[in-house]
Chain A
Protein backbone atom coordinates (compact mmCIF):
# COMPACT_ATOMS: atom_id res chain seq x y z
CA UNK A 1 0.00 0.00 0.00
CA UNK A 2 1.76 3.13 -1.17
CA UNK A 3 0.77 6.65 -2.03
CA UNK A 4 -0.58 5.85 -5.50
CA UNK A 5 -2.04 2.39 -4.79
CA UNK A 6 -5.03 3.60 -2.79
CA UNK A 7 -8.40 4.76 -3.99
CA UNK A 8 -8.47 7.96 -1.95
CA UNK A 9 -5.45 8.65 0.21
CA UNK A 10 -7.24 11.45 2.08
CA UNK A 11 -9.77 8.93 3.39
CA UNK A 12 -6.95 6.57 4.31
CA UNK A 13 -5.19 9.20 6.37
CA UNK A 14 -8.43 10.23 8.08
CA UNK A 15 -9.38 6.65 8.94
CA UNK A 16 -5.89 5.79 10.21
CA UNK A 17 -5.82 8.93 12.36
CA UNK A 18 -9.20 8.03 13.86
CA UNK A 19 -7.95 4.49 14.48
CA UNK A 20 -4.96 5.79 16.45
CA UNK A 21 -7.27 8.09 18.44
CA UNK A 22 -9.66 5.20 19.18
CA UNK A 23 -6.78 2.94 20.24
CA UNK A 24 -5.44 5.55 22.67
CA UNK A 25 -8.95 6.23 24.00
CA UNK A 26 -9.71 2.53 24.49
CA UNK A 27 -6.62 2.18 26.67
CA UNK A 28 -7.03 5.39 28.66
CA UNK A 29 -10.74 5.54 29.56
CA UNK A 30 -11.62 4.60 33.14
CA UNK A 31 -15.00 3.00 32.43
CA UNK A 32 -14.79 -0.51 30.97
CA UNK A 33 -18.12 -0.23 29.13
CA UNK A 34 -16.78 2.86 27.36
CA UNK A 35 -13.66 0.86 26.49
CA UNK A 36 -15.84 -1.84 24.93
CA UNK A 37 -17.79 0.66 22.81
CA UNK A 38 -14.62 2.44 21.64
CA UNK A 39 -13.10 -0.95 20.72
CA UNK A 40 -16.17 -1.63 18.59
CA UNK A 41 -15.68 1.72 16.85
CA UNK A 42 -12.03 0.78 16.26
CA UNK A 43 -13.11 -2.50 14.63
CA UNK A 44 -15.53 -0.61 12.38
CA UNK A 45 -12.78 1.79 11.33
CA UNK A 46 -10.41 -0.99 10.39
CA UNK A 47 -13.28 -2.55 8.44
CA UNK A 48 -13.45 0.67 6.40
CA UNK A 49 -9.68 0.50 5.97
CA UNK A 50 -9.91 -3.00 4.51
CA UNK A 51 -12.62 -1.95 2.12
CA UNK A 52 -10.25 0.80 1.00
CA UNK A 53 -7.53 -1.81 0.41
CA UNK A 54 -9.86 -3.93 -1.81
CA UNK A 55 -10.09 -6.79 0.69
CA UNK A 56 -13.87 -7.00 0.69
CA UNK A 57 -14.14 -10.50 2.19
CA UNK A 58 -11.89 -9.50 5.08
CA UNK A 59 -13.97 -6.35 5.48
CA UNK A 60 -17.32 -7.99 5.97
CA UNK A 61 -15.84 -10.72 8.12
CA UNK A 62 -14.40 -7.99 10.32
CA UNK A 63 -17.74 -6.16 10.37
CA UNK A 64 -19.58 -9.28 11.49
CA UNK A 65 -16.97 -10.75 13.80
CA UNK A 66 -14.88 -7.84 15.04
CA UNK A 67 -17.46 -5.09 15.30
CA UNK A 68 -20.27 -7.51 16.15
CA UNK A 69 -19.36 -10.47 18.28
CA UNK A 70 -16.23 -9.04 19.91
CA UNK A 71 -18.05 -5.91 21.06
CA UNK A 72 -20.90 -7.97 22.50
CA UNK A 73 -18.67 -10.36 24.46
CA UNK A 74 -16.46 -7.53 25.75
CA UNK A 75 -19.61 -5.66 26.84
CA UNK A 76 -20.94 -8.75 28.63
CA UNK A 77 -17.66 -9.28 30.44
CA UNK A 78 -17.42 -5.57 31.31
CA UNK A 79 -20.81 -5.78 33.00
CA UNK A 80 -19.80 -8.93 34.87
CA UNK A 81 -16.49 -7.71 36.28
CA UNK A 82 -15.84 -4.59 38.39
CA UNK A 83 -16.78 -1.78 36.05
CA UNK A 84 -14.38 0.95 37.11
CA UNK A 85 -10.73 0.62 36.23
CA UNK A 86 -7.97 2.18 38.31
CA UNK A 87 -5.75 3.34 35.44
Chain B
Protein backbone atom coordinates (compact mmCIF):
# COMPACT_ATOMS: atom_id res chain seq x y z
CA UNK B 1 0.00 0.00 0.00
CA UNK B 2 2.81 2.38 0.88
CA UNK B 3 4.60 1.54 -2.37
CA UNK B 4 1.46 2.23 -4.38
CA UNK B 5 1.03 5.53 -2.54
CA UNK B 6 4.58 6.57 -3.35
CA UNK B 7 4.24 5.38 -6.93
CA UNK B 8 1.13 7.45 -7.56
CA UNK B 9 1.39 10.48 -5.26
CA UNK B 10 5.20 10.63 -5.34
CA UNK B 11 5.19 11.68 -8.99
CA UNK B 12 3.13 14.78 -8.26
CA UNK B 13 4.95 16.91 -10.84
CA UNK B 14 3.71 14.70 -13.66
CA UNK B 15 0.14 14.76 -12.37
CA UNK B 16 0.23 18.54 -12.03
CA UNK B 17 1.62 18.97 -15.55
CA UNK B 18 -1.13 16.69 -16.87
CA UNK B 19 -3.80 18.78 -15.12
CA UNK B 20 -2.29 22.04 -16.40
CA UNK B 21 -2.01 20.62 -19.91
CA UNK B 22 -5.72 19.81 -19.99
CA UNK B 23 -6.63 23.18 -18.50
CA UNK B 24 -4.67 24.89 -21.28
CA UNK B 25 -6.20 22.66 -23.94
CA UNK B 26 -9.68 23.48 -22.62
CA UNK B 27 -8.83 27.17 -22.84
CA UNK B 28 -7.62 26.85 -26.40
CA UNK B 29 -10.67 24.90 -27.55
CA UNK B 30 -13.66 26.06 -25.54
CA UNK B 31 -13.08 29.74 -24.80
CA UNK B 32 -14.72 32.25 -27.11
CA UNK B 33 -12.42 35.20 -26.48
CA UNK B 34 -9.24 35.16 -28.56
CA UNK B 35 -7.12 36.61 -25.73
CA UNK B 36 -8.20 33.73 -23.51
CA UNK B 37 -7.27 31.30 -26.27
CA UNK B 38 -3.77 32.80 -26.26
CA UNK B 39 -3.55 32.56 -22.45
CA UNK B 40 -4.61 28.93 -22.75
CA UNK B 41 -1.81 28.39 -25.25
CA UNK B 42 0.67 29.83 -22.73
CA UNK B 43 -0.60 27.48 -20.01
CA UNK B 44 -0.42 24.53 -22.43
CA UNK B 45 3.22 25.31 -23.31
CA UNK B 46 4.16 25.81 -19.68
CA UNK B 47 2.73 22.43 -18.70
CA UNK B 48 4.87 20.69 -21.31
CA UNK B 49 7.97 22.58 -20.17
CA UNK B 50 7.24 21.64 -16.55
CA UNK B 51 6.99 17.97 -17.53
CA UNK B 52 10.25 18.15 -19.44
CA UNK B 53 12.29 19.79 -16.65
CA UNK B 54 10.82 17.34 -14.12
CA UNK B 55 12.58 14.50 -15.94
CA UNK B 56 15.98 16.08 -15.28
CA UNK B 57 15.53 16.45 -11.51
CA UNK B 58 17.68 14.06 -9.47
CA UNK B 59 17.93 12.83 -5.89
CA UNK B 60 20.70 14.34 -3.76
CA UNK B 61 21.98 16.54 -6.57
CA UNK B 62 22.87 20.20 -6.69
CA UNK B 63 22.64 22.90 -9.34
CA UNK B 64 24.68 22.14 -12.50
CA UNK B 65 27.65 24.37 -11.64
CA UNK B 66 31.03 22.74 -10.95
CA UNK B 67 31.86 22.63 -7.25
CA UNK B 68 35.16 21.97 -5.50
CA UNK B 69 35.63 19.31 -2.87
CA UNK B 70 37.54 19.69 0.40
CA UNK B 71 40.86 18.93 -1.37
CA UNK B 72 40.41 21.79 -3.89
CA UNK B 73 39.76 19.23 -6.63
CA UNK B 74 36.76 19.82 -8.92
CA UNK B 75 33.85 17.48 -8.27
CA UNK B 76 33.32 15.78 -11.60
CA UNK B 77 30.79 13.00 -10.96
CA UNK B 78 27.74 13.48 -13.14
CA UNK B 79 25.53 12.11 -10.37
CA UNK B 80 26.31 15.13 -8.19
CA UNK B 81 24.52 17.57 -10.49
CA UNK B 82 21.02 17.85 -11.90
CA UNK B 83 20.83 16.99 -15.58
CA UNK B 84 21.49 20.26 -17.48
CA UNK B 85 20.32 19.05 -20.89
CA UNK B 86 16.56 19.60 -20.28
CA UNK B 87 17.40 23.01 -18.81
CA UNK B 88 19.12 24.09 -22.03
CA UNK B 89 16.32 22.83 -24.25
CA UNK B 90 13.62 24.43 -22.11
CA UNK B 91 15.55 27.70 -21.98
CA UNK B 92 15.33 27.81 -25.78
CA UNK B 93 11.66 26.83 -25.69
CA UNK B 94 10.77 29.66 -23.27
CA UNK B 95 12.27 32.27 -25.59
CA UNK B 96 10.52 30.75 -28.62
CA UNK B 97 7.25 30.75 -26.68
CA UNK B 98 7.58 34.45 -25.86
CA UNK B 99 8.26 35.24 -29.53
CA UNK B 100 5.15 33.25 -30.49
CA UNK B 101 3.13 35.13 -27.86
CA UNK B 102 4.28 38.48 -29.24
CA UNK B 103 3.28 37.56 -32.80
CA UNK B 104 -0.09 36.27 -31.57
CA UNK B 105 -0.79 39.50 -29.69
CA UNK B 106 0.18 41.58 -32.73
CA UNK B 107 -2.29 39.59 -34.84
CA UNK B 108 -4.88 40.11 -32.09
CA UNK B 109 -4.45 43.89 -32.23
CA UNK B 110 -4.86 43.77 -36.02
CA UNK B 111 -8.07 41.74 -35.61
CA UNK B 112 -9.38 44.33 -33.15
CA UNK B 113 -8.54 47.12 -35.59
CA UNK B 114 -10.25 45.43 -38.56
CA UNK B 115 -13.30 43.80 -36.94
CA UNK B 116 -13.80 45.88 -33.81
CA UNK B 117 -14.00 42.87 -31.50
CA UNK B 118 -11.97 39.86 -30.37
CA UNK B 119 -14.85 37.51 -29.67
CA UNK B 120 -14.57 34.60 -32.07
CA UNK B 121 -18.22 34.31 -33.10
CA UNK B 122 -18.51 38.06 -33.72
CA UNK B 123 -15.33 38.02 -35.82
CA UNK B 124 -16.71 35.15 -37.92
CA UNK B 125 -20.06 36.96 -38.25
CA UNK B 126 -18.23 40.09 -39.36
CA UNK B 127 -16.26 38.12 -41.93
CA UNK B 128 -19.41 36.65 -43.48
CA UNK B 129 -20.83 40.09 -44.26
Chain A residues with CB under 8 Å of chain B are 1-6, 9, 12-13, 16, 19-20, 23-24, 26-27, 32, 35, 39, 42-43, 46, 49-50, 53-58, 61-62, 65-66, 69-70, 73-74, 76-78, 80-82, 85-87
A50 engages B53 (CB within 8 Å): yes
Closest to A49 in B: B50
What is the interface of chain B mostly: helix, strand, loop, or mixed? Answer: helix
Q: A26-B39, A58-B91 given as contacts; is B33 within 8 A of A87 (CB)?
A: yes
B13 vs chain A, min Cβ distance (A):
4
Contact A23 B53 (CB under 8 A): no
A62 shortest CB reach to chain B, Å:
6
Residues of chain A contacted by B36 (CB below 8 angstroms) = 27, 35, 85, 87
A5 and B57: CB pair below 8 A?
Answer: yes
Nearest Cβ distance between residue A66 and chain B, in whole angstroms? Answer: 7
Interface size class of B (residues with CB under 8 A): 35 or more
- Of the candidates B23, B39, B109, the one having the most CB atoms from chain A within 10 angstroms of its own CB is B39
Number of A-B contacts (CB under 8 A): 139
Q: Which residues of B contact A (CB under 8 A)?
A: 6, 9-14, 16, 19-20, 23-24, 26-27, 31-33, 35-36, 38-40, 42-43, 46, 50, 53-59, 61-64, 82, 86-87, 90-91, 94-95, 98, 101-102, 105, 108-109, 112, 117-119
In the complex, residue of chain B having the shortest beta-carbon distance to the beta carbon of A22 = B43
Q: B11 touching A85 by the CB < 8 A rule?
A: no
Contact at B10–A3, with CB atoms within 8 Å?
A: yes
The residue on B at minimum CB distance from A52 is B57
- CB–CB A53/B57 < 8 A: yes
